[in-house]
Amino acid sequence: MAVFDTPQEAFGILRPVCVQLTKSQTVENVEHLQAQLQAVSDAALQELQQYILFPLRFTLKTPGPKRERLVQSVVECLTFVLSSTCVKELELLQELFSELSACLYSPNSQKPAAVSEELKLAVIQGLNTLMHSAYGDIILAFYEPSILPRLGFAVSLLLGLAEQEKSKQIKIAALKCLQVLLFQCDCQDHPRSLDELEQQQLGDLFASFLPGISTALTRVITGDFKQGHSIVVCSLRVFYKTVGFVMADEQLRRISKVRAKPAVEHRIAELMVHREGEWVKNTGDKLVILIKKIIECILVHPHWKVRLELVDLVEDLLLKCSQSLVDSAGPLLKALVGLVNDESPEVQVQCNNVLRHFADQKVVVGNRAFTDILSESLHSLATSLPRLMNSQDDQGKFSTLSLLLGYLKLLGPKINFVFNSVAHLQRLSKALIQVLELDVTDIKIVEERSWNSDDLSASPEGPTTRRGNQVQRRYFRFFTDERVFLLLRQVCRLLGYYGNLYLLVDHFMELYQESVVYRKQAAMILNELVVGAAGLEVEDLHEKHIKTSLEELREIVTSLLEVYTSQENWYLVTCIETEEREELMMKQSDLQAITSGVHTCQIVSFPAFSKPSPTICSMNSNIWQVCIQLEGISRFAYALGKDFRLLLMSALYPVLEKAGDQTLLISQVATSTMVGICVACDYDSLQDLINQNSDYLVNGISLSLRHLSLHPHTSKVLEVMLRNSDATLLPLVADVVQDVLATLDQFYNTRAASFVSVLHALLVALAQWFPETSYTGQPQDQNLKEEGSYLHQTLENNTTAEDIEQFVLGYLKEKDVAEGNVLEFDSDEEELSVPPKLDENDTLPDAEPPLPVQIQIAKDVMERCIHLLSDKNLKIRLKVLDVLGLCVVVLQSHKNQLLPLVHRAWPSLVHRLTNDDPLAVLRAFKVLCTLGGKCGDFLRNRFCKDVLPKLAGSLVTQAPISARAGPVYSHTLAFKLQLAVLQGLGPLSESLELGEGDLNKVADACLIYLSTKQPVKLQEAARRY
């Protein structure tokens, strides 16, 4: 706190000290003075300024060598005085300035005098304080041409310090001081802003130093990264402040062509620069080189603050000097754009702010030159993109693409104009297509099969939980980093957002059609274009941009969908031809039934892979093609939202078709596409989606059934649909079932297999939708259903030990389940014992009511089954037996329909039971058990006559074999058959109410199995009987 407030008091204190100092110039005296000064108030000090300064200046001016320590303390004291007072006289300012700068002057060298660092620092601080303490008017007067030599000395001195000094502190101080000296200080002490004329005068003055300052600073900036970021930051700031001031468009615009006669002596006039057009151009040219150097160096600078400063540099220069530095605009924009995706969030934010600012100010859009520069840069970048993508590492690729993205962002709505040039559009599209090339050598994708075709219904969880986690990564030829792909996606979306969608879609569609090589990439790009056009997930810098209208977007999506799902683009070869595979399956089918119930997903190695066409690569490529198109459909849905519902009539069927595809990847992607559609169109679940649009699906199915050879997958769609819908669908299903049956009638020979599985799905659905009240308590039914649904999913190669082991494990598990079910069903039976159908019959005794639709369907299906029972193909026979069992279940309450059909089916069933493959016998026996439960009386005689002797006989003949057999026997088919027969005969003879004689026969046959020599399980089964 100041003790001496009045000048008089202060003078009293200070006078002796000053006198002392004048007399003997020692460090102690100076320090003494400074100590006294602390106690003097600012106002008093201002009054006594000249007086106090005198001994100090006297000390400095004393000729002869001086001790550095003394000089330093004098300068420090001087600085202290100046910091608390202000300089009001021009002369004093000039003199102090010269005296201070002279402290570091060494007469014999260019370099600053070799003095201690403390002194240097003190002098720099002193200069800094001096400039700050100068009175507003004085300082302007100070900057007149005549000061030029002295100012020049100071500037070069400071530059030298900044460049060559070791101490970081000095360097920074020097740079700060330089900034002050060049009137670019950013502290608060300069309230008055300069008017135009003053600015111009200063500009003229500083123009002389521009070359020196800029080159020296460039050297500092591009120096070693290790020198510390703050130095580079300061240098950058001084650089752009100076350049921005001297080269400001605003000033240059007013410079007259003719040089005004300077009112100074000739020597100084020579130093002056006239900033006319020629000079600006030359300087601009030279600055480009420096700016390029700086940008190149700073872009890779490890410290984010440096990069942040670069953003400011770009902003400042582009805003102030867009015309004078027009040549530098390219590199500057490039730097800015490149920094948009900087790893540091601060830089990103600042960059985006600047970009937004530019967009608001229409710096780019409103400036033709900039647009041209940008489109030129874009063009050259697009040209070199493929090469860069080939040679750079992922980080490099990332920044290259960031650059591309940034250009597009900056161009914004101007993209349209750029792409009106065919050359630009082609360059960029070709580049994108090359970059997005997929790697299609992965065999796994072709190999993986989805046997588990009912996972759609098996997953009750909501669509969100299933999203994304299962989608296969795609492998690109040119990059592996996921971020690169995201960037590319963003690029495409931006294009769609700003560009003329019609033009772009048309162009990429052409590429899509042009060659199969481009097709996948073009489809990927098209997908993103549409999303972008809808304005989704696009960063919009240009607020007032008008988006593509929804109407147009819908039109475009419609036509894209049409192309995607057209025959030649949708039905690509993604696996070995179906017929071949079916042959293969036939060969392996004998094993399949054994393992029914065991849920395996085995990869089948196709011998046909060695075939020359189609190659694995082309199949892989086709798979990706389909996946991308599927993904596209989901993107379209996303883009259109609820409006996509209208397009479901054409889109849903193909997607569902692919959901049933054998290639795992395709079915996964198709499923996630459906989930995407669900979300976009606001359906609750996949079931909801399918249910609500089943009319569209049925339409597709019935039309495709007409061209079965072209649409071999139709039946799968129906299967998927049946699995995912409920009884409300029945009228529609009834309609399409008629078509199915009619088609089946035409293709008994060739395509029965796929139809039988549809029929199976149908009957399973019917049995679920219309559960009969008198549902049987036999475990076989449950078994039958389960096995049936697994039947077509499991496929085995050959009998290996593992298979058998797996089978047994599965079997045991299943058996437990089955036994558990027995209990459940027993209790159910008691509760629901009254069949309601009887009541209806009572009330309408005369008129025969029309059959319920499901009964009619089951009846029709059962009729077909009767014929198919004798199909040549074992696999079909097995499936048909399953379907037959289900038919019986559905028809059980309509005996009038059921019994005639059973009568017709009987001979052929008996044939299966007696003269067929053991597998078929097994299955037929299960059907028999079901039948026994449903229409016991009707079958009793037939059973006793046709089947029982044979069964009992085979049991008897097998008994010695099984008695002798070792433990491996329990893994054989014969064992399984024995077991099933033994287990089934009991309930069967009960439900058939067999006569005593027949019962005896059965009992005799079973008795043998009670022998201890028999396998334990057989014993158990027999005992239970």
**Site residues (vs another protein, CB under 8 A):** 509, 513-516, 519, 561-563, 565-568, 571-573, 613-614, 618, 622, 646, 649-650, 695-696, 698-699, 702-703, 706-707, 709-710, 731-732, 735, 738-739, 741-742, 744-749, 863-864, 866-867
CB of 872 to another protein, least distance (A): 11
260 to 205, 264, 267, 272: CA distances (angstroms): 14, 11, 16, 11
Complex with another protein: residue 486 or 703, whichever CB lies closer? 703
Complex with another protein: residue 71 or 891, whichever CB lies closer? 891
Nearest-angstrom CA–CA distance, 500 and 759: 50
- Is 461 in a helix, a strand, or coil? coil
Amino acid (1-letter code) at residue 184: Q
Token representation of residue 780 = 């076989």
CB of 557 to another protein, least distance (A): 13
What dihedral angle (degrees, nearest 10) is formed by the CA atoms of 992, 997, 1001, 1007?
A: 100
CB of 645 to another protein, least distance (A): 8
CB of 443 to another protein, least distance (A): 17
910 to 53, 893, 979: CA distances (angstroms): 129, 23, 19
Complex with another protein: residue 632 or 987, whichever CB lies closer? 632
Nearest-angstrom CA–CA distance, 78 and 129: 9
Complex with another protein: residue 82 or 561, whichever CB lies closer? 561
CB of 583 to another protein, least distance (A): 17
CB atoms within 10 A of CB 915: 10
Complex with another protein: residue 436 or 575, whichever CB lies closer? 575
Complex with another protein: residue 38 or 513, whichever CB lies closer? 513
Nearest-angstrom CA–CA distance, 447 and 620: 9
Sign of CA dihedral 48, 49, 51, 53: positive
Cβ–Cβ under 8 Å, residues 333 and 256: no
Complex with another protein: residue 154 or 648, whichever CB lies closer? 648
Give kind and range of the element (H or E) at residue 855.
helix 853-868
Spell out the residues 6+ positions from residue 779 whose beta carbon is closer than 8 angstroms to its own: 818, 819, 821, 822, 825
CA 749 to chain centre: 48
Cβ–Cβ under 8 Å, residues 627 and 668: no
Nearest-angstrom CA–CA distance, 213 and 234: 13
Token representation of residue 655 = 């997607």
Nearest-angstrom CA–CA distance, 447 and 445: 5
CB of 210 to another protein, least distance (A): 59
Peptide bond connecting 852 to the previous residue in cis, omega within 30 degrees of 0? no
> Any alpha helices (H) in 660-797, and if so which ranges?
664-681, 686-692, 694-705, 714-723, 730-746, 752-769, 779-791
Complex with another protein: residue 160 or 712, whichever CB lies closer? 712
Complex with another protein: residue 610 or 749, whichever CB lies closer? 749
CB of 556 to another protein, least distance (A): 13
CB of 393 to another protein, least distance (A): 34
Cβ–Cβ under 8 Å, residues 427 and 379: yes
Complex with another protein: residue 618 or 797, whichever CB lies closer? 618
Nearest-angstrom CA–CA distance, 553 and 533: 8
Complex with another protein: residue 163 or 735, whichever CB lies closer? 735
In a 10 Å sphere around its CB, with 0-12 CB exposed, 13-18 middle and 19+ buried, how is residue 295 labelled? buried
CB of 538 to another protein, least distance (A): 28
CB of 735 to another protein, least distance (A): 6
Complex with another protein: residue 115 or 617, whichever CB lies closer? 617
Nearest-angstrom CA–CA distance, 777 and 790: 22
Nearest-angstrom CA–CA distance, 464 and 462: 6
Complex with another protein: residue 735 or 772, whichever CB lies closer? 735
Radius of gyration of the chain (CA): 46
CB of 715 to another protein, least distance (A): 17
Cβ–Cβ under 8 Å, residues 975 and 1015: yes
b/e per residue 680-713 (b: at least 16 CB within 10 A): bbebebbbebbbbbbebbbbbbbebbeebeebbb
Token representation of residue 916 = 């067929």
b/e per residue 16-29 (b: at least 16 CB within 10 A): ebbebbeeebbeeb
CB of 893 to another protein, least distance (A): 23
CB of 233 to another protein, least distance (A): 56
Q: Write the DSSP assignment of 780-849 as a string of letters.
A: HHHHHHHHHHHHTT----S--HHHHHHHHHHHHHHHHHHHHHHHHHHHHHHHT---THHHHHHH-SSS-P
CB of 726 to another protein, least distance (A): 17
Complex with another protein: residue 46 or 699, whichever CB lies closer? 699
Complex with another protein: residue 339 or 876, whichever CB lies closer? 876
Complex with another protein: residue 853 or 899, whichever CB lies closer? 853
CB atoms within 10 A of CB 598: 19
Complex with another protein: residue 317 or 881, whichever CB lies closer? 881
CB of 654 to another protein, least distance (A): 9
CA 351 to chain centre: 23
CB of 311 to another protein, least distance (A): 46
CB of 704 to another protein, least distance (A): 9
599 to 1, 508, 792, 876, 972: CA distances (angstroms): 91, 44, 11, 20, 19
Nearest-angstrom CA–CA distance, 1025 and 1022: 5
Cβ–Cβ under 8 Å, residues 919 and 874: yes
